[in-house]
Amino acid sequence: MDGNPVGWFGDHPPTDERGFLDFAASLPVPDLYRAIKDAEPVSPIASHRFPSNRRRHYERMRRFPEGLVVLGDALCSFNPIYGQGMTTGALGVRLLDDSLRERRQNGGSARVGGFSRGFQRKIARVIDSPWLLTTTEDFRSPRTVGRRAWSSALLGWYTARIHRLTWSDRFTARRFLEVMHLTVRPTALFHPYIVFRALTQGSHVDQAARK
Ligand SMILES: Cc1cc2nc3c(=O)[nH]c(=O)nc-3n(C[C@H](O)[C@H](O)[C@H](O)COP(=O)(O)OP(=O)(O)OC[C@H]3O[C@@H](n4cnc5c(N)ncnc54)[C@H](O)[C@@H]3O)c2cc1C
């Protein structure tokens, strides 16, 4: 578990108040527990389970109906704990708006001439980044099933170090949040400063953050 009230593979926060607080206290980073331990709940605790990330590759279909486009959760549904679904949906809507404007400016219609297939190809590229982010996180557990990219183990190892660094390093924490909020590309996490700190101080940071 990292610093969120979430869990994987049965390691879930209980829905009774005492159990929830105990779970928060067991997290490696104490901030969440400190923030809620004396707070008064405004509602009962609710639990939500999510079975899997799911991505549909409509861009690989040989034939695709004109006048139809697929975006949002219908195209790609992410584990909600990473908070990517609405942002990715909004990016898809913006791409659709841009594509329709471009088509209109060129005097064409969205119902003919491969518009829909072209759009599915373009939106697939938009989804690549958030998909990489969420699946890299989920594949850090050996119990996660699915097709792992050859780079999955290496990326998982690197992002585990980045996570630990975010507990104490402001620059890395900000960059990490920018990447997770899709305002900059994941390659921003390979900034020379972050690579250096992640490779040289990852384990020390881990111990320091637990004190
Ligand atoms: C517990 C939870 C927490 C989340 N937290 C976050 C978060 O913090 N940040 C974030 O970015 N994302 C989060 N998400 C994901 C986000 O909610 C979704 O990615 C987003 O709502 C997808 O938008 P959408 O329009 O594609 O689909 P939806 O929001 O599911 O909208 C689809 C709509 O279509 C309607 N519909 C379905 N079938 C039919 C039909 N046959 N006829 C007519 N209408 C129909 C449905 O009723 C629904 O209103 C979370 C999701 C969950 C489940």
Hey, where are the domains in the chain? 1-49, 54-131, 152-210
Taking CA atoms only, the protein residue closest to ligand 1 atom 37 is: 74
Q: What is the pLDDT of residues 51-74, one digit of tens each?
A: 889 999 999 999 899 899 999 999
Specify whether the CB–CB gap between 92 and 66 falls below 8 A: no
Q: What is the pLDDT of residues 91-150, one digit of tens each?
A: 999 999 999 999 888 877 666 778 999 999 999 999 998 998 888 888 888 888 888 888
In this structure, the number of other CB atoms found within 10 A of the CB of residue 203 comes to: 10
- Cβ(70) – ligand 1 distance below 6 Å: no
- What's the pLDDT at 110? 63
Average pLDDT, the chain: 87
* pLDDT above 80: residue 8: no
Specify whether the CB–CB gap between 27 and 2 falls below 8 A: yes
Taking CA atoms only, the protein residue closest to ligand 1 atom 5 is: 80
- What's the pLDDT at 3? 42
Ligand 1 binding pocket mutation candidate from 86, 95, 131 (most atoms within 8 A of CB): 86
Q: What is the pLDDT of residues 19-43, one digit of tens each?
A: 999 999 998 888 889 999 999 999 9
Tell me the one-letter amino acid at 73: D
In this structure, the number of other CB atoms found within 10 A of the CB of residue 39 comes to: 8
Measured in Å, residue 36 CA sits from the centre of ligand 1 at: 28
Can you give the pTM of this predicted structure? 0.81
Specify whether the CB–CB gap between 71 and 89 falls below 8 A: yes
